[in-house]
Amino acid sequence: MTSVDSIKKQFPFFSQTKNGKPWAFLDNAASCQKPESVLKKMDEVYRTTYANVHRGIYDMAENGTKLYEGVRELVANFLGARSVDEIIFTKNTTEAINLAAYSLSRRLKPGDEILLTEMEHHANLVPWQQAALRTGAKLKFIPLNDDFCLDLSGLHSLLGVKTKIVALSAMSNVLGTVNDLADLIKKAHAVGAVVLVDAAQAAAHLKLNVKDLDCDLLAFSGHKIYGPSGVGVLYGKAESLNNMPPFLTGGHMIADVWYDRATWNTIPAKFEAGTPPIVEVIGLGAAVKFINSVGWDFILNHEKELTRSGLKKLLSVDGLKLLGPKDASRRGPVFSFTLDGVHAHDVAGILNEYGVAVRAGHHCTAPLHKKYGIVATTRASCGIYNTTEDIDRLVVGLERARKMLD
């Protein structure tokens, strides 16, 4: 039977200690540790079957291509996509959203509107700002309510015939808020808008199904789902991708080339210019297999328990202000907070001494922090291998930080 203990044993990182204790690694919203199966697969490919993909006809090139393209199928199944052609490999979520923003902006004109939310990561904000600058389109934002969830009461005035693109996160990397997307996507489609979902956080915490969601595009990163850095995914409905011009141009993405022009390959090749992150993609495949082996029932139950425990214990810390919903059913196990009288970076520094790894700063959501008049928060974010004991260690460390610096 799956247990957190048996999961943790699969991650070589946890043999590391700090002052004689194993780490309580609570920075998973930034990036996750990697299981042995991912490390082993990548090592094996480099040692035995490495070659460029889609080009050679010798054994290694053919094996490498088979492994690489096999991951497209794994990811298509992971997301519930209709076809492998709907899976584009990118460098990360940021590149996937830049691809979408660049390509979709080619059809924007002055006065068109792009609807975002106030909780977006810079990766799902700055590319749209640039798209708006290039085209004269306007950005609009769905505000937040007092419980750090989307306030949809004014949606009818934000979403209209001018709205061409709606781009929003499935789960906030700061607030932990899980957004209810299906109804919003339906309403966006009713006015003819294209919808992109930023699933950078959600991909590790929620079972995604792009068919059920009916989003047009969705982006996530390998390194946040226990896979390697350097690889991400843009899912797109085939009809959307077929209608989008390419982003990066060069080798592999062409059908034919003359000195003065070129024609484009079919999807997904049209969006994968140059040598892709071959071994990283294969490592991503191993990460998807790892998640499948743990199973979503276990992940969802375990993380619900971490969310409940985290909320209860953190809200009992004197002087702690949580930036995020207090209702466990509206959020995932990502907790950002301030501690009265102690700077977020000092909190993170003290926790480090106790072997508790958290992050301090604006977590690439500067506008959200400005909205609440906060320069920085400390963020503790859980993954599949965390336990309620890790949260206990966090709470003990926070109490010590307050005593030391208050």
Candidates 10, 94, 98, 309; binder of ligand PLP (CB under 6 A) is: 94
# residues contacting ligand PLP (CB under 6 A): 14
- Pick out residues in 181-200 that bind ligand PLP (CB under 6 A): 198, 200
Residues across the chain: 406
Closest CA to 119 of 304, 372, 311, 337: 372
Whether 364 is a known active-site residue: answer yes
H-assigned helices in 243-295: 278-294
Specify the residue, 65 or 177, whose C-beta has the smaller distance to ligand PLP: 177
Query: Which H helix or E strand runs over 361?
Result: strand 359-361
Q: Of all residues in this chain, which one has the CB nearest to ligand PLP in the complex?
A: 173
Closest CA to 2 of 301, 393, 270: 301
Distance CA 84, CA 78 (A): 11
- Catalytic residue, chosen from 32, 149, 215, 364, is 364
- Pick out residues in 245-284 that bind ligand PLP (CB under 6 A): none
Coil, strand or helix at 337: strand
Residue 117 engages ligand PLP in binding (rule: CB under 6 A): no
In whole angstroms, how close is the CB of 387 to ligand PLP at the nearest point? 23
Specify the residue, 120 or 216, whose C-beta has the smaller distance to ligand PLP: 120
Distance CA 380, CA 215 (A): 29
Residue 90 engages ligand PLP in binding (rule: CB under 6 A): no
In whole angstroms, how close is the CB of 227 to ligand PLP at the nearest point? 11
Instruction: Name residues whose C-beta falls within 8 Å of residue 191's C-beta, 6 or more positions apart in sequence.
Output: 159, 160, 161, 163
Distance CA 30, CA 388 (A): 20
Distance CA 108, CA 87 (A): 24
Specify the residue, 103 or 201, whose C-beta has the smaller distance to ligand PLP: 201
Write the interaction track for ligand PLP spanning residues 146-185; mark x where CB under 6 A is met and - where it is not: -----------------------x---x------------
- Pick out residues in 205-234 that bind ligand PLP (CB under 6 A): 221
In whole angstroms, how close is the CB of 93 to ligand PLP at the nearest point? 4
Q: Residue 195: beta bridge partners?
A: 166
- The answer to whether 184 and 166 are in contact (CB under 8 A) is yes
Active site members: 364
Site residues for ligand PLP per CB under 6 A: 29, 92-94, 121, 123-124, 169, 173, 198, 200-201, 221, 364
